Chain A
Amino acid sequence: DTGVSQDPRHKITKRGQNVTFRCDPISEHNRLYWYRQTLGQGPEFLTYFQNEAQLEKSRLLSDRFSAERPKGSFSTLEIQRTEQGDSAMYLCASSLVRAEKLFFGSGTQLSVL
């Protein structure tokens, strides 16, 4: 257990539905990152927060994706109008600003039918 928790572990949804994932980072970590991983590939960066500020978003993050970290603690990632291509493992990681080591959650596996 790395101390980063993600919920749910698995999500099955129908195309067109909205889904929301949650990440609870290690409590003192002020940086929080979202990554997406498809089968057989390495993870790809989506976005990251420092405290409550979203500092960078990848071009992979289309308008259907939105992420928040309202109080600088937990974060949510919402996908609207899901498509089959959104099926992937969504990983969250956290770290301290001054440290480069990231701690990963176990991920949320999304399947869009």
Chain B
Amino acid sequence: KNEVEQSPQNLTAQEGEFITINCSYSVGISALHWLQQHPGGGIVSLFMLSSGKKKHGRLIATINIQEKHSSLHITASHPRDSAVYICAVSSRAAGNKLTFGGGTRVLVKP
């Protein structure tokens, strides 16, 4: 079993729809990261969470430490949101290196 599991693996939405991506982890962490990867490889950090909820524009990330679960929500989705969204966890005790989930490929159709 992977230490970080994401669901769904693939998601197709119509423009304007609300999107939710889920992430569960099984190890102790210092922080949970949500990252975005566009075709061509570049990875961009969206959020880093250790508790509660963060919001940036149309993106919202939440984490429940007790349940070892996080969600990434995209409100009013747009075709430019099409990308792979990756959940990752880090631990200060492990040098802050990231352990990644498998990613969720999101396609938003106009």
The interface size of chain A toward B, counting residues with CB under 8 Å, comes to 28
Contact A44 B100 (CB under 8 A): yes
Instruction: Indicate whether A63 reaches chain B with its CB closer than 8 angstroms.
Output: no
Contact B44 A2 (CB under 8 A): yes
- Contact-residue size bin, chain B (C-beta under 8 Å from the other chain): 20 to 34
Instruction: Indicate whether B110 reaches chain A with its CB closer than 8 angstroms.
Output: no
**Nearest Cβ on chain B to A11's Cβ, whole angstroms:** 13
Q: Name the prevailing secondary structure of the B interface residues.
A: strand
Measured CA separation A91–B45 after assembly (Å)? 14
Closest to A99 in B: B96
Give the A-B pair count, Cβ closer than 8 A.
67
Q: B33 to chain A: which residues have CB within 8 Å? A: 100-102
Contact A100 B92 (CB under 8 A): yes
Instruction: Indicate whether A31 reaches chain B with its CB closer than 8 angstroms.
Output: yes
Contact B103 A41 (CB under 8 A): yes
Closest to B87 in A: A42
Known A-B contacts A42-B102, A45-B97; A106 and B48 likewise in contact (beta carbons under 8 Å): no
Closest to A97 in B: B96
Contact A56 B95 (CB under 8 A): yes
Most chain B CB atoms below 10 A, which of A40, A44, A93, A102:
A102
Measured CA separation A35–B40 after assembly (Å)? 16
Known A-B contacts A41-B103, A42-B102, A100-B90; A33 and B42 likewise in contact (beta carbons under 8 Å): no
Contact A91 B43 (CB under 8 A): yes
Measured CA separation A50–B97 after assembly (Å)? 11
Q: B43 to chain A: which residues have CB within 8 Å? A: 43, 91, 93, 104
**Nearest Cβ on chain B to A69's Cβ, whole angstroms:** 14
Can you list the 7 inter-chain pairs with the closest CB atoms, starting with the nearest?
A42-B100, A107-B41, A104-B43, A106-B42, A100-B31, A42-B102, A100-B96
B residues with CB within 8 A of A: 4, 30-31, 33, 35, 40-45, 48, 86, 88, 90, 92, 95-103
A residues with CB within 8 A of B: 2, 31, 33, 35, 37, 40-45, 48, 50, 55-56, 89, 91, 93, 95, 100-107, 109
